[in-house]
Structures are given as C-alpha cells and as structure tokens.
C-alpha cells in the first residue's frame, strides 16, 4: 500500500536553497509525483511534476532517484513569499488512486 | 487562474441537516474532485468524477454523496451533517489530455461549520 511521508515543518532564510523530501514506498514505474504549494485561505497550486530523474521549471526542480522511494522538491533562492505549505502527491497509474502527503509548512525568515 | 467557483464560500449549519456544496467550472475539464482539508491531515479525497454521471469514491466518502449532471457542475451533499464534517472543502479539476501534466486546479474552498 503506497504512502507518502514528508516533514511537518521546515524553516530557512531568504536567498537560500530549500529542499523538501517526500518518501513514497511501493510506487510503480508509471506513477507520477507532483508537488503543490498552498497559501493560507487559498487552494493548492501546482508547482512541478515528474516520473524520474530530474525535472526543472522556472520556479523549482524535482529530483527523483533511481529507486523512486523518495523525491525532493528544490526551491532555489527562496524569498519571504515562498512561506507556504508544500504538498507531495503520488498518483497511482494502476487505479488512479491519489496519495497526498500531510504537507510541509515552510517558513522563510529575513 | 482556472475558472473554478465554489458556493457557498462559508456556511454554518446544525447537526442533522442536509448540506449541498456546489463546484462550477468553465474550463470543460473532464475530471472533478471534492476534498476536505483538516489540520494535521492535509487533503483527503472524498469523491471524484471522470465524466457526466461517472463518479467514484475517495478515501473518506462515508456520509457524503455527489452528483454530476453537467460537465461544469459537481455537487457534494452531506446527507445529515455531523460535527466531524466541520472542515474546509476544496473542489479541483483536471484534464490530462489538455496539458503536458496531469495537474489539478483548485477552487477557493468552502468553510463549513457544523454546530
């Protein structure tokens, strides 16, 4: 049974790189991993998605090792506005089950 | 932002009363979802729909029913509201065929309080 686990909270400082790791056992080759960002009183918003190795877009990178038992969201040079809750989601291709992590509250300090 | 609205945005009701929440989209997306969000639990899927009149249960479907008679509307009904259903409810949509990613777009949420 697939499950996702991520740290409850993290803090960092402006200008630093932040890495948030999600552990997800028992996922198959076609199961994809997605990260979302949520600000207070808003719905989550898509950040990045991938299946394997590394994906990069204009706001983040996603690293997925060969064993696919974890994935790491990397936020380069964070600012105060990156303070939010970040969710890891694993979507199982076999039955379309969605496995959400409990979220990581990231606090960025000046 | 994706065209998703939820109504009402806030509701206070009493235990035992039926409640219906509405999600409306203007994106013509095939999939629609209802989630609840509670502190310490993140997002939990209640029900989802993969087309008109096609719905399926999520992980916390007990006490909830849904209906989708049109592509743009997805209704969530609490048949007899209980205090344990006090939560923030989010609707989301997705359509894998229209994007490189199977991303979900979320509505603004409905805060429901059951007294």
Q: Per-residue pLDDT tens for B16-54?
A: 999 999 999 999 999 999 999 998 778 999 999 999 999
The model's confidence at residue A52, banded by pLDDT at 50, 70 and 90, is confident
The model's confidence at residue B98, banded by pLDDT at 50, 70 and 90, is low
Residues A109, A12: contact at Cβ < 8 Å?
yes
Which residues 24-53 in chain B show a CB within 8 A of chain A?
A: 40-45
Residues B64, B78: contact at Cβ < 8 Å?
yes
Q: Is the pLDDT of residue A93 over 80?
A: no
What's the pLDDT at B67?
97
DSSP A110: -
What's the pLDDT at B41?
79
The model's confidence at residue B2, banded by pLDDT at 50, 70 and 90, is low
**Cis (ω within 30 of 0) for the bond into A10?**
no
In angstroms, the CA A86 to CA A84 distance is: 6
Query: Residue B82, Cβ neighbours under 10 Å: how many?
Result: 12
Interchain contact, A44 vs B107, CB within 8 Å: no
The pair of three-digit structure tokens given for residue B52, joined into one six-digit string: 């008109």
What's the pLDDT at A67?
87
Task: For residue B92, list chain A residues with Cβ-Cβ distance below 8 A.
Answer: 43
What's the pLDDT at A30?
79
Shortest distance, CA A10 to any CA of chain B (angstroms): 15
Which residues contact residue A8 at a Cβ distance below 8 angstroms, ignoring those fewer than 6 apart?
A102, A103, A104, A105
In angstroms, the CA B52 to CA B58 distance is: 17
pLDDT tens digit sequence for A64-79: 998 889 999 999 999 9
What's the sign of the alpha-carbon dihedral A58, A63, A68, A71?
A: negative
Query: What dihedral do alpha carbons A97, A18, A10, A1 form, nearest 10°?
Result: 20
């Amino acid at each position: 049974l697939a499950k996702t686990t991520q740290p409850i909270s993290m803090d960092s400082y402006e200008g630093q790189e932040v890495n948030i790791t999600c552990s997800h056992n028992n996922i198959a080759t076609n199961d994809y991993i997605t990260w979302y960002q949520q600000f207070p009183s808003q719905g989550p918003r898509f950040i990045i998605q991938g299946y394997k190795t590394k994906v990069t877009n204009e706001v983040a990178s996603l690293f997925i090792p060969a064993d696919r038992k974890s994935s790491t969201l990397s936020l380069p040079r964070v600012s105060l506005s990156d303070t939010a809750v970040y969710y890891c989601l694993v979507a199982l291709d076999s039955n379309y089950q969605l496995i959400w992590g409990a979220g990581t509250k990231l606090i960025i300090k000046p | 932002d994706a065209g998703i609205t939820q109504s009402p945005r806030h509701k206070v009701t009493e235990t035992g009363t039926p409640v219906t929440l509405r999600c409306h989209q203007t994106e013509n997306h095939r999939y629609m979802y209802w989630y609840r969000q509670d502190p310490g639990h993140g997002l939990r899927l209640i029900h989802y729909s993969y087309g008109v009149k096609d719905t399926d249960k999520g992980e916390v479907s007990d006490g909830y029913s849904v209906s989708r008679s049109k592509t743009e509307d997805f209704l969530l009904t609490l048949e007899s509201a209980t205090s344990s259903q006090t939560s923030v409810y989010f609707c989301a949509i997705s359509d894998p065929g229209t994007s490189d990613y199977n991303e979900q777009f979320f509505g603004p949420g409905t805060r429901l309080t059951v007294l």
